[in-house]
Amino acid sequence: MIRSARVLVVAGFLVVAGPALAQEAPLLDRELFFGDPAVSGGQISPNGQFITFIKPYRGVRNIWVKRVDATFDDAHPLTADSTRPVTGYFWTHDSRYVLFIQDLGGNENYRVYAVDPVASAAPATGVPPARDLTPYDDIRAFIYAVPRATPEQIIVGLNDRDPQLHDVYRIDINTGERELIIRNNENVAGWVTDNDGTIRMAVRIGSDGGTEVLRVDGDTLTEVYGCSNEESCGPIRFHQNGRQVYMTTDKGADVDLSRLILFDPETGEETFVESDPEQEVDFGAAAFSDVTNELQATIYVGDRVRIYPKTDAAARDLELLREKLPEGEISLGSATADERLVLVRVARDVDPGSTYLYDRETGDVELLYRSRPELPSEHLAPMQPIRYTARDGLEIPAYLTLPNGVEPRNLPVVMLPHGGPWARDRWGYDPYVQYLANRGYAVLQPNFRGSTGYGKRFLNAGNEEWGTGAMQHDITDGVRYLIEEGIADSARVGIFGGSYGGYATLAGLAFTPDVYAAGVSYVGPSNLITLLNSIPPYWAPIKKLFDKRLGDQNDPEDAARLREQSPLFSADQIRAPLLVIQGANDPRVNQFESEQIVVALRDMGRPVEYMLAEDEGHGFAGRENRLAVSAAMERFFAPHLGGRFQEEMPEDIARTLAELTVDVNTLELPEAGVAAAAAAAPLPASDGGVIEPRTLEYDVTIEVGAQEIGLAVTRTIEAASLDGQPVWRVIDVLESPMGAMVDTLEIDRGSLRPLRRAVSGMATIQLRYSDSEVAGEVGAMGQMTSVQASLAAPVYADGAGLDIVVAGLPLRDGYETTLRTFDAEMQRTRPMQLSVIGTETVETGSGAHLTFVVEVRPLDGDAAGTSTLHVMHSAPHHIVTSSTRLPATMGSGTMRVELDATYQRQN
């Protein structure tokens, strides 16, 4: 029986309910979304004789070639990479070579290769031989130009001399010989050639994070234009007159949206060309003729793409293409040398795209291929641009996709924040969006502040606002909006994202634990301090941008904020189940970023799952890996959010999923990673509530070579107050043949973090501790040294301070943690690994004690401080015996401690 239709206003747009919603979309096979496209990446050779494209060869995506008038079945492969898909390639202007780039397992150290498309295939591979034009290990090649005037040469940047900087070379494609053009001695981040392939401009980030545009005169660089660290500017292409250069800029106090200008590097003269006619978004892109170098069209990305032709010919092309092609976003691809034939792509939200051959002379438009012909667009879900208001009144642009055939009320939701974060989402086909919508989820993609394209004020509103700030609030406010609109079931909201989106996932679960029922972090950083410490070396020229937009870890205030904004340090707040996905070769967000939070959650008994691909980097490229990730994600979300999932799975994907899935109970952090994490990780929860006023007496023996020195230490623990704050005051009185020393330490009564330390006698120490610094002075025999140490994260005190922390830890068999102490003598922070390695009964002068055996091992490469402790089995875990290696300044001997007198409680 047909019901009458009704119209709902949902999120500001109309949704027809009734017959259109009577039938839920069928569950589509994940292969349709994440399997390899049938054909993609088509290009036409400049001579118009060949079409190249990408499709699988021996199970991996590779480059294929066919004659223009041949069928795709008649094509043959040009490359035969058996481990990683080839994705980036292009023709030389003389059509002699196809050049392509490839890295190793996702490490982004790209090399440039050349293959002759008409050469004979090697019997073993079935493809012509490819020559490596940049055969250097651990480098990343940048292609700056493929000059039309010298098609046998390319202009390439190589960082083989200095990993941080790219020198500029001319490489002969025929011979592979390279010629140095410019040695990068001035921290240049990028180079720009003119239309003949001559390096004419450069871009450098200044000491304050601003952009410097440089004119290149041989080896001389002259700054000719600049903008501040809250502005953006840079050249994009030289004008056809060869003198002026097109630039984008938003420079100026009264300017918000970036605009296109013409700039003369010799005179500094600036001519306005265009800004967004609708005054909504930044300048997007420009299309030029490679024959005349004439500007043909400007492009802006608002809610959807807008194209503005600049020549009569471009206007005719656009009108004809819109008339003959299906509805969707039109983009021009490669063209023949005379620009008569051009490849045109059309895509939309429910169609990943089709590619056509357009003949400008005849006006004919011929369909070449659909990238995913089996994907049924009629069952996919439209993507709608929306706006919602953040808590501070700022309007946030976003895209909402609602599942087909389901009334948009009380739906499970997946928030999908984009990566970057200095990027943006746009209207169009997204496999994850459509996949999740097909599983029954509403999907919201917020362009939170800090996203690009909406003006510099919107971008700069995200500066330093990660995690606990406005960038994350905008995502949270998107959830609130969907709940208020009645679209979202507040108990069934998940979050998923990659890169920065993965960070936003972790931040959402850690800082707003009541909002999300589950999260999936895909190559997302968990600790902003270790993230900044591990950025690729070739990002060094733009490091000041990170200091501006994220924070400078060398600044104590920024360092403290970065710690607060790192989900790792609030891992104890995460309650929702978490799935973490990581590529082992990721150069941007390294493996340790994922594993440190997985281990932290595991050790707290929180629900966490982990997937690791040994052959992937910052996002997965391999077919089986992509399908395994999608299967894991839908299986993970289903029980927590209530969406549908596909139970059946091909054998190869099931096998890959099993290989990628890591048993979190077996996960061990690498030594270097443990040290890096311990340097900034949250301090373990040591409970000052188990400490009581007591007196402990110890016999201490120092052994250096054949010499032994006997000491006696009386430790008194008493409740006290410091500046009105309840503290434990720990007083060690040491008696030795050289004299006496009194060490008084005051620590917070709850957290056991140090506040003040005073030592008198053989040595003098006066220190004040905070979360961000240790200040005071140390010395002996009247020679004093000032202490002013900035801290990346809070520390415990050494000596008695560490002993009391151990007394308050929740020790148990197998317990492990990392912590930090501040070494007052050396004025350094020392990260340490603490492990319970057994249980043992020991006899001392105070009797028999059941103890935990605790190993404390420094992680900074210095063995001094390595200790084996026997501590009381019942809390508080005071030391019964210990053996500690002494520093080289004390002869690298050993200090042994033994509880002597009866354990006493103070009244």
State how far Cα 292 lies from the chain centre: 41
The answer to whether the beta carbons of residues 501 and 524 sit under 8 Å apart is yes
Q: Is the CA virtual torsion 776, 779, 784, 785 positive or negative?
A: negative
DSSP-derived pairing of the beta strands 60-67 and 50-57: antiparallel
Kindly list the distances between the CA atom of residue 783 and the CA atoms of 64, 141, 763, 780, 872, in Å, as whole numbers in the listed order: 76, 55, 10, 6, 39
Encoded amino acid at 596, one letter: Q
Vertex 371: Cα angle to 367 and 376 (nearest 5): 100
Name the strands in the sheet holding 245-249, side by side, starting at the edge strand that comes first in the sequence.
233-238, 245-249, 259-263, 270-274
Active site residue 558: no
Active site residue 586: yes
- Which of the residues 499, 534, 594, 630 is marked catalytic? 499
The answer to whether the beta carbons of residues 385 and 427 sit under 8 Å apart is yes
Q: What are phi and psi of 511, to 5 degrees?
A: -95, -20
- Which of the residues 36, 351, 586, 798 is marked catalytic? 586
Cβ neighbours of residue 768 under 8 Å, at least 6 residues apart?
Answer: 755, 756, 774, 775, 776
- Which of the residues 418, 618, 849, 870 is marked catalytic? 618
737-755 as b/e, with b when 16 or more CB fall inside 10 Å?
eeeebebbbbbbbbbbbbb
What is the Cα–Cα distance from 798 to 757, expressed in whole angstroms? 10
Vertex 253: Cα angle to 249 and 254 (nearest 5): 85
Q: How many C-beta atoms surround the C-beta of residue 224 within 10 A? A: 17
* Both tokens assigned to 604: 């707290």
What is the Cα–Cα distance from 203 to 598, expressed in whole angstroms? 40
User: 3-state class of 486 per DSSP?
Assistant: coil
Q: What is the 3-state secondary structure (H, E, C) of 787-849?
A: EEEECCCCCEECCHHHHHHHHHCCCCCCCEEEEEEEECCCCEEEEEEEEEEEEEEEEECCEEE
Helix %, strand %, coil % of the chain (to 5): 20, 40, 40
Total residue length of the chain = 907
CA atoms lying within 13 Å on the CB side of residue 426: 16
Cβ neighbours of residue 432 under 8 Å, at least 6 residues apart?
Answer: 33, 416, 443, 496
DSSP-derived pairing of the beta strands 411-415 and 341-348: unpaired
* Both tokens assigned to 473: 């609030």
Active site residue 499: yes
**By C-alpha distance, which of 46, 66, 45 is closest to 54?**
66
Cβ neighbours of residue 248 under 8 Å, at least 6 residues apart?
Answer: 232, 233, 234, 236, 258, 259, 260, 261, 282, 283
Vertex 501: Cα angle to 101 and 669 (nearest 5): 80
* Both tokens assigned to 188: 């240049």
CA atoms lying within 13 Å on the CB side of residue 775: 5
Encoded amino acid at 710, one letter: G
User: 3-state class of 417 per DSSP?
Assistant: coil
What is the Cα–Cα distance from 348 to 372, expressed in whole angstroms? 13
Catalytic residues: 499, 586, 618
